[in-house]
Structure 1
Amino acid sequence: MLTINFHDFPLNDGDLVLDLGCGEGRHVINAYLHGDVTAIGVDLNHRDLLTSRERFLPFAQASGNKQFYLQQADATQLPFADHSIDKIICSEVLEHIPDYQGVLAEIERILKPGGLLAITVPRAWPEKICWWLSSEYHQVEGGHIRIFNGSHLRREIEQRPFNFYKRHWAHALHSPFWWLKCLWWKTQDTNPLIKSYHRLLVWDLMKKPWLTQTLEKWLNPIMGKSVVMYFRKENS
């Protein structure tokens, strides 16, 4: 399930692409599949990196110029040289990190002038409903520690040498799913309604039927769970 749209975030052959906070690998693996790029996934969670590696193995190619790497690292202290990365994805990460400004500073440091940055965070009003329905939702270890106002975050990023060029929303069908999970947090694993909704989301992901794909496209501007923003770093 991709949050970034690679049509809005084009990759070129030879690009060094970093998925910062890659989790279980959805974006870094798809970046690898998009062209002859070097795709690097970084995360602090070693278990997620192992899962990412397992998910990548069926797609590994022995030919071509593709390369794939995973690295355990702190997003506020990245092991990359200044101006060394062509494209950076930071999807659903900043809401977890106390020093998110430190992460933005590291992104600014390592991204090449003219390079592209894609950032996604949970949209404010669907996220507020989750927090209202369940305190456990945002109090679990590694959970969300803040709710971002997308426009405010955009302005913060634009105060750095980044130019905004596009915004969209994603995963509208997932907003009610998370509201249901929060409403029945303690019994979510056995709740029949939540289990049925999950099967619907899996069916939508695997089959991509016209009905649900079109419905989500229409609903994303209204209730998309994530806001997705794209920036280009200014040339020095």
Structure 2
Amino acid sequence: MLTIRFDELGLRPDDRVLDVGSGFGRHVYECARRGARVVALDYAADEVVETRDTLAAMVEQGEITPDRLIGVLQGDATRLPFPDDTFDVVITSEVLEHIQDDVAAISEMVRVLKPGGRFAATVPAWSPEVVNWKLSDEYHAPKSVGGHVRIYTKTELRAKLRTAGLDVDGYHRAHALHSPYWWLKCAVGPTNDDHPIVVKYRSFLEWDIIEQPASTKVAERVLSPVLGKSSVHYATKRDDG
């Protein structure tokens, strides 16, 4: 399930891509399939291991060539271990809402991006996220596993991206059908994955991802501008030199 639209990102073959907070690698896999040379970075060791294993399996199965994979490593988004102007594309998906010092993280991502390079960030959209916070303290408690520390408005995130040196030039929302799932989870407890209602709705989402029926594609297209769980922003690094 991809949140970023790669036609808006402008990804090109042989682009060097950094995915900050790559999780289990869904976007970095797609970048590699499209011919980019990828680096995946995440704070969680288990996700780093799984992403590395999956990319290795993709090489073994001939889905990507070995030169597409630069590295998979554990690291801190506020202290990226790369020189300035290293990457053609930097993406970060559903990460910034977890980071206390998001301004430092954004600054680091822009630092390692080449002038003229492309940037994409996705965060939970304001209105669905407000419902989640009202339904569950555990969902957003900073000390909980995966807790969210802030709710972004569109204006706030765009202002932070501009201040860091980016020209923001694209926006959309995604995953409308996922908003009710998270409302259900927050209502019964974010870690209560075995609740019958949660299990049933998760099965529906898994079916939708696999089958991709026309009916849910239409529903997503119609509902996402209002109910989309993710807010997706695209930008280009200014060349001030």
- 1:38 equivalenced with 2:37 (yes/no): yes
Letter in 2 for 1:102: A
Query: Could you say which residue in structure 1 is the equivalent of 2:79?
Result: 77
What is the Cα deviation at residue 183 of structure 1? 0.6
Gaps of 5+ in 2: none
Match of 1:204 among 197, 205, 208: 208
Distance 1:134 1:100, change over 3 A: same
What is the Cα deviation at residue 233 of structure 1? 0.6
Distance 1:212 1:68, change over 3 A: farther
Gaps of 5+ in 1: none
Q: Do the aligned partners of 2:139 and 2:190 also contact (CA within 8 Å) in 1?
A: no
Query: Could you say which residue in structure 2 is the equivalent of 1:49?
Result: 48
Q: Do the aligned partners of 1:172 and 1:219 also contact (CA within 8 Å) in 2?
A: yes
Distance 1:118 1:174 in 2: 20
Query: Could you say which residue in structure 2 is the equivalent of 1:116?
Result: 118
Q: Do the aligned partners of 1:2 and 1:26 also contact (CA within 8 Å) in 2?
A: yes
- 1:163 equivalenced with 2:162 (yes/no): no
Query: Could you say which residue in structure 1 is the equivalent of 2:93?
Result: 91
What is the Cα deviation at residue 167 of structure 1? 0.2
Query: Could you say which residue in structure 2 is the equivalent of 1:18?
Result: 18
Distance 1:186 1:49, change over 3 A: closer
Secondary structure in 2 matching 1:7? helix
Distance 1:210 1:68, change over 3 A: farther
- 1:223 equivalenced with 2:227 (yes/no): yes
Letter in 1 for 2:79: Q
Secondary structure in 1 matching 2:9? coil
- Counting only pairs closer than 5 Å after superposition, residues 59-74 of structure 1 correspond to structure 2 as 59-60=58-59, 61=62, 63=65, 65-74=67-76
Distance 1:52 1:16 in 2: 17
Distance 2:75 2:65 in 1: 28
Letter in 1 for 2:27: H
Distance 1:16 1:129, change over 3 A: same
Distance 1:189 1:21 in 2: 23
Distance 1:224 1:186, change over 3 A: closer
Larger displacement relative to structure 2 (8-17 or 163-172)? 8-17
Q: Do the aligned partners of 2:19 and 2:39 also contact (CA within 8 Å) in 1?
A: yes
Query: Could you say which residue in structure 2 is the equivalent of 1:106?
Result: 108
Distance 1:187 1:167 in 2: 31
Secondary structure in 2 matching 1:83? coil
Secondary structure in 1 matching 2:216? helix
Larger displacement relative to structure 2 (191-200 or 58-67)? 58-67
Distance 2:98 2:191 in 1: 24
What is the Cα deviation at residue 186 of structure 1? 6.9
Distance 1:187 1:27, change over 3 A: closer
Across the aligned residues of Structure 1 and Structure 2, the Cα RMSD in angstroms comes to 1.5
Query: Could you say which residue in structure 1 is the equivalent of 2:57?
Result: 58
Q: Do the aligned partners of 1:32 and 1:68 also contact (CA within 8 Å) in 2?
A: no
Secondary structure in 2 matching 1:8? helix
What is the Cα deviation at residue 63 of structure 1? 4.2
Distance 2:151 2:108 in 1: 21
Secondary structure in 2 matching 1:82? coil
- TM-score under structure 2 length normalisation: 0.93
What is the Cα deviation at residue 156 of structure 1? 1.9
- Equivalenced residue count is 235
Distance 1:181 1:234, change over 3 A: same
Q: Do the aligned partners of 1:16 and 1:39 also contact (CA within 8 Å) in 2?
A: yes
